[in-house]
Structure 1
Amino acid sequence: MKINAEGLNLIKEFEGFRADFYQDAAGHKTIGYGHNCDADPNKCKGINAPLTKAQAEELLRTDIAKFEGYVTSLVKVKLNPNQFSALVSFTFNLGQAKLAESTLLKKLNAGDYEGASKEFGKWIYANKKVLKGLERRREAERELFLKA
């Protein structure tokens, strides 16, 4: 399964576009729509700033493919395209390990879709502080997850 347009737009909205390298909220070297250079320093070799939006979207689509794979491998129940896309956004933001260890995934794989949806709101902290942007993002992901 692939992320849908609504999921892609959610990521783009919350990551925001940055043509030049910057430090994200967690202190990672980042560019474009949340392209994390620190996750693999080789990922940013050859990237010349400033990026165009088209270049940034190409990077994003390449990055997302990895997170689509993580969601596919970790989730053991049937998902609709909105549920899948919400989980890709969640995993793109937090990382595969966080999804893998989450109560959200445990509830989802037990077939408790409603219970899983309520877990999104617990992932709103960065450096032990609640971030309003994460609150909004988790709510948007939850709404997408619950959308038929």
Structure 2
Amino acid sequence: MSLKARVIAGALAIALPLVGYYEGRSLVAYLDPVGIPTICDGITQDVQLGQTKTDAECDALLAAELGQAISTVDRLAKQPQPDTRRAALGSFVYNVGAGAFERSTLLRKLNGGDVAGACAELSRWVYAKGRQLAGLVKRRAAERELCEVGLQ
């Protein structure tokens, strides 16, 4: 296992069940609540309606995409973060995308040393195309709780 893979492994082990639970799994492509073709555990890149995947293919896609999201957190956070926070933020990046994270107040607060404020920002990200989604409210609450582990 490469050093990069070992560094990501702890956060990935925490984030995988979180993302899997909130994304759900579909082996057949479908339209998500805002009309984006989606398959497996929330995979949207290069997905076409009617497409199918196996569980093994979905497992591999999820691990790769989530690993990439955690790498994004590691690259953009100025200070090393504990695995619980990396997992929470990796789940967030997996859901909203690296660009949204990079431009976010959440990242500015994190890099400014306001970790509690950064974690609190997660609760604001509950809208998709202007609609508040109950699933996002629950997911962000779980991510926030994980993000705040170890804070006073």
The normalised TM-score by structure 2 is 0.85
Structure 1 vs Structure 2 CA RMSD: 1.8
Q: Distance in 2 between matches of 1:32 and 1:98?
A: 22
- Is structure 2 residue 103 aligned with structure 1 residue 101? yes
Q: In structure 2, what is the equivalent of residue 92 of structure 1?
A: 94
Residues 4 and 82 in structure 1, CA contact (< 8 A), matched pair in contact too = no
Q: In structure 1, what is the equivalent of residue 62 of structure 2?
A: 60
Q: Distance in 1 between matches of 2:118 and 2:64?
A: 27
Q: Higher relative contact order at CA 8 Å, sep ≥6: structure 1 or structure 2?
A: 1
Q: Give the gaps of 5 or more residues in structure 1.
A: none
Percent same amino acid among aligned pairs? 35
Q: Give the gaps of 5 or more residues in structure 2.
A: 1-6
Task: Give the AA of the match of 2:29.
Answer: F
Q: In structure 1, what is the equivalent of residue 120 of structure 2?
A: 118
| 1:4 Cα deviation after fit | 3.3
Query: 1:1-148 alignment to 2 at 5 Å?
Result: 1-2=7-8, 3-37=11-45, 41=46, 44=47, 49=52, 51-148=53-150
Q: Distance in 2 between matches of 1:126 and 1:8?
A: 22
Q: Distance in 1 between matches of 2:130 and 2:140?
A: 16
The normalised TM-score by structure 1 is 0.88
Q: For residues 25-58 of structure 1, what are the alpha-carbon distances to aligned partners after superposition, in whole Å with 9 as ceiling and x for unaligned?
A: 2322111111113xxx3xx59xx62x33232111
| 1:16 Cα deviation after fit | 0.3
The total of aligned residue pairs comes to: 141
Secondary structure in structure 1 of the residue aligned to 2:79:
coil
Q: In structure 1, what is the equivalent of residue 4 of structure 2?
A: none
